[in-house]
Amino acid sequence: MLLRWIAAEGRRRARPSRPLARSLSYGRVVDAAARDGELRVFVVAGEVSGDSLASRLMAALRALSPVPVRFAGVGGELMCKEGLQSLFPMEEIAIMGMWELLPHIYSIKRKIEDSANAAMLFQPHAVVTIDSKGFSFRLLKQLKCRSNQKVQSPLHIHYVSPSFWAWKGGESRLSKLHNFVDHMLCILPFEEEICRLNGLPATYVGHPLLDDAIGLNMGTELCSDKSKYQRSCEAFRLEHGLSPG
């Protein structure tokens, strides 16, 4: 489903339902990339699961983009295999929980600053953050503040919606994200509607585990069909006295 979304958005020239001021629209991202001769994507993941999602996204973008794609940002081993040179080891921002964060808070703030500086120098057409909302949202906020001084800012996309829907009154917090997130990519089907109802453009792109399961089932079916075909061929040869050669 992610591949279908990328392909569909690549063909669009309309703005999102609620665009941000001075942000590139999907169509203008494609136009700007065509004009520059490359698509520049600044991508950030801070967890192992995000590294996996981002690597798939990078591979899909490279396969579907009509122009060469260049990546910069922060990621893990899988993203580096897709051509990313991470600004620093992803593990340095993979911190969970308040008590674990406190000893590293100044280091994390420095990493956000370093990432923002690198993004501004890279001049991306799109910034994609994957999960890790604590780091990702602070980075996007800083980039939005810096970009407000320019004519246009890159398209800001966050992949994996925060589970605000699981908290009492949490859905209303989604409406504040539109200040620095242009589009949300959701992995659960009901999240898209929740985001849209709270003023945040969103698209359900599917869950990678489900995609893997579907692919595994399809592979099993193909193997089963191949076995049936081989058995049919063997029966035909025996019936007509033909040699395997």
Number of domains in the chain: 2
Q: What is the pLDDT of residue 142?
A: 93
Q: Are residues 28 and 135 in the same domain?
A: yes
Residue 14 — pLDDT band, cuts 50, 70, 90? very low
Q: What is the pLDDT of residue 51?
A: 95
What is the Cα–Cα distance from 35 to 32, expressed in whole angstroms? 5
pLDDT digits (tens, 9 = 90+) for 178-193: 899 999 999 998 999 9
Place of tokens 């698509």: 39
Q: Are residues 91 and 157 in the same domain?
A: yes
Q: What is the pLDDT of residue 27?
A: 76
* DSSP category for residue 145: H
Q: Are residues 136 and 198 in the same domain?
A: yes
Q: Are residues 174 and 229 in the same domain?
A: no
Structure tokens at 172: 């209303």
What's the mean pLDDT in 154-177? 83
Q: Are residues 240 and 199 in the same domain?
A: no
Q: What is the CATH number of the domain that holds 64?
A: 3.40.50.2000
Q: What is the pLDDT of residue 13?
A: 44
Q: Are residues 152 and 50 in the same domain?
A: yes
What's the mean pLDDT in 227-234? 50
Q: Are residues 31 and 112 in the same domain?
A: yes
pLDDT at 1 over 50: yes
Nearest Cα to Cα of residue 195 among 166, 168, 165, 167: 165
Q: What is the pLDDT of residue 131?
A: 87
Q: Are residues 63 and 138 in the same domain?
A: yes
Q: Are residues 73 and 119 in the same domain?
A: yes
Could you tell me which residues are beta bridge partners of residue 42? 72, 127
Instruction: Look at 241 and 85; give whichever has higher pLDDT.
Output: 85
List the domain range (segments joined by +) for residue 218.
208-245
Q: Are residues 90 and 129 in the same domain?
A: yes
Q: Are residues 166 and 238 in the same domain?
A: no
Residue 132 — pLDDT band, cuts 50, 70, 90? confident
User: Are 82 and 71 a contacting pair, CB within 8 Å?
Assistant: yes
Q: Mapping DSSP to helix (H, G, I), strand (E, B) and coil, where does residue 143 land?
A: helix
Q: What is the pLDDT of residue 241?
A: 54
Could you tell me which residues are beta bridge partners of residue 33? none
Residues 6+ apart with CB under 8 A from 132: 44, 45, 46, 47, 50, 93, 94
pLDDT at 211 over 80: no
pLDDT at 162 over 60: yes
Q: Which of 5-14, 62-71, 159-168 has the lowest mean pLDDT?
A: 5-14
Q: Are residues 156 and 215 in the same domain?
A: no
pLDDT at 230 over 80: no
Report the 3 state secondary structure along 12-35. CCCCCCCCCCCECCHHHHHHHHHH
Q: What is the pLDDT of residue 22?
A: 45
Structure tokens at 236: 């035909």
pLDDT at 11 over 80: no
What is the Cα–Cα distance from 150 to 131, expressed in whole angstroms? 27
pLDDT digits (tens, 9 = 90+) for 57-113: 999 999 989 999 999 999 999 999 999 999 999 988 876 555 455 666 788 899 999
Q: What is the pLDDT of residue 99?
A: 47
Q: What percent of the chain has pLDDT over 70?
A: 69
